[in-house]
Amino acid sequence: MKAIDLSGKTALVLGVANQRSLAWAIAESLGEGGAQLAFTYQGERLQKNVHTLAAQFPEAPVMAMDVTSEEQVEGVFARVEREFGKLDILIHSIAFAPREALENEFIDTTLESWRIALEISAYSFIHLAKHAVPLMEDKGGSMLALTYMASQRVVPKYNVMGAAKAALEHGVRQLAGELGPRNIRVNAISAGPVPTLSARGISGFSNMSAHHREKAPLGRNIEAREVGDTALFLSSDLASGITGEIVYVDAGYNIMAL
């Protein structure tokens, strides 16, 4: 019988804020698959939450990392190298835009909001990939980002975050093209709405969620666990032929025209 087995693989999971985070659902699935996990958290505010959750995986290092701090980014990859000697799986589950950019009209987007949203939500994936590559070089690896369909279609109030997701998805394809010869696969999961901390910061999130539930072929919203399990598959050798893809985990919503 074929089963997903990540034993012997190491995974760095970025973006756990609390137990509702998609990154946490992914960590639980990768952990069940047997991966050795490492976590980062952004800022002291989240330190306790992430330490408490990560205690479920007693061997897992928990490290501070704001993606805008080069010192912290270098510190994290240096510790992963010291403790594991390699990295097999990188999970990027991070996004941020200033609140006013998600409340005002898109036409009012300031250069500063644009810069912040694209730096944290899209550029950071490229930058972290650069740090991860040397640790994956021997056997290859898997990198995974989290995106949303507003990269392709108009979702009112998603605003600059749609631009950031479009840039992120392009980054996934460009990196997949460049890193394929080193056997490093790069993919993204495009998730349907899940009520997380960040999601609740989007004006009209509950309407968005109700609309998805009503229109999706499966007639429901997705659960975070479904994102976790798809990440488990994409990170495993069973997905060895898949790279550069945006995999929709949205109960089928994206295929519907009416």
Residues 6+ apart with CB under 8 A from 159: 97, 101, 102, 104, 105, 106, 109
Q: Which residues pair with 39 in a beta bridge?
A: 13, 62
Nearest residue (CB) to ligand NAD, 95 versus 136: 95
**What's the min distance (Å) between Cβ of 219 and ligand NAD?**
18
> Considering the complex, what minimum distance in angstroms separates the CB of residue 18 from ligand NAD?
6
Nearer to ligand NAD, 94 or 136 (CB): 94
Contact residues toward ligand NAD (CB under 6 A) are 15-17, 21-23, 42, 46, 66-68, 93-96, 120, 146-148, 191, 193-194, 196-199
Alpha-carbon gap, residue 63 to 142, rounded angstroms: 21
Distance in Å, CB of 52 to ligand NAD, minimum: 14
Contacts by residues 110-115 (CB-CB < 8 Å, ≥ 24 positions apart): 113/160, 114/160, 114/163
Active site amino acids: 148, 158
Residue placing its CB nearer to ligand NAD in the complex, 23 or 232: 23
Give CA–CA dist 143/111, Å, rounded: 29
